[in-house]
Structure 1
Amino acid sequence: MLILEVLSKSTKDFDREDKFRFYRSIPEFCEYVLVNQSEFLVAQYIKTESNEWLFREYEGETATVSFASLGVQMSMSEIYAKVVFETSETEVQ
């Protein structure tokens, strides 16, 4: 029903395109959520009753993500709990 993935810099394009195309062949699959690892950013694709895919994007620490297939909501601060984002200073060290 739901597939949730954390995007890495090296695989994010593959996850959004080829992998998503493969997942769509699964009849029960109806929600795909991609969590960006370097900022408060979540992309969500929800399959509608007419078999079309609806895209939603959530951005910022105060946004709330609604997981349609589960009937659950989570704030971005909950999703990113204990995540420390790299800054340019962190990357240099």
Structure 2
Amino acid sequence: MEVLSPTTEAFYRGDKFADYRSLSSIQEYVLIGQQRMNVDCYRRDVEGRWVFSSCGEEECLELDSINFQCPISALYEDVPGLS
């Protein structure tokens, strides 16, 4: 998981994700928006391809690789102006 800021977003979506894609142990990569309630998730499918999904405020983040579920709003619970 990475929390995006204006100065880190391009790096996390670009070079860092490219490095993570080369590691077979990484099954899901989550990017949490800092400016608005939004979570992007990239998942490796059964054929090894990365599949993108995006979740908003009313949705739930589900990470199959670690059996985790959490409402997006709970991730932003203590963030002023976004909760």
Q: If the length of structure 1 is used for normalisation, what is the TM-score?
A: 0.82
Extract structure 1 runs of 4+ deviating beyond 3 A.
none
Alpha-carbon contact 1:46-1:68 (below 8 Å) kept: no
Q: Distance in 2 between matches of 1:15 and 1:74?
A: 22
Unaligned 5+ runs, structure 2: none
Partner of 2:63: 67
Q: Give % identity.
A: 34
- Alignment of 1:25 onto 2:38: no
Give how far 1:58 is off.
0.6
Aligned to 1:83: 79
**One-letter amino acid matched to 1:65:** L
- Offset from partner CA, 1:25-62 (integer Å, 9 cap, x none): 11201100000011110000000110001100011x22
Query: What CA distance in whole angstroms lies between the structure 2 residues aligned with 1:16 and 1:30?
Result: 16
RMSD: 1.3
- TM-score for the superposition, normalised by structure 2: 0.91
Secondary structure at 2:19 match in 1 = helix
- State the 1:77 CA deviation: 1.5
**SS of residue paired to 1:50:** coil
> Which of the pair has more CA radius of gyration?
1
Q: Which runs of 5+ in 1 are unaligned?
A: 87-93
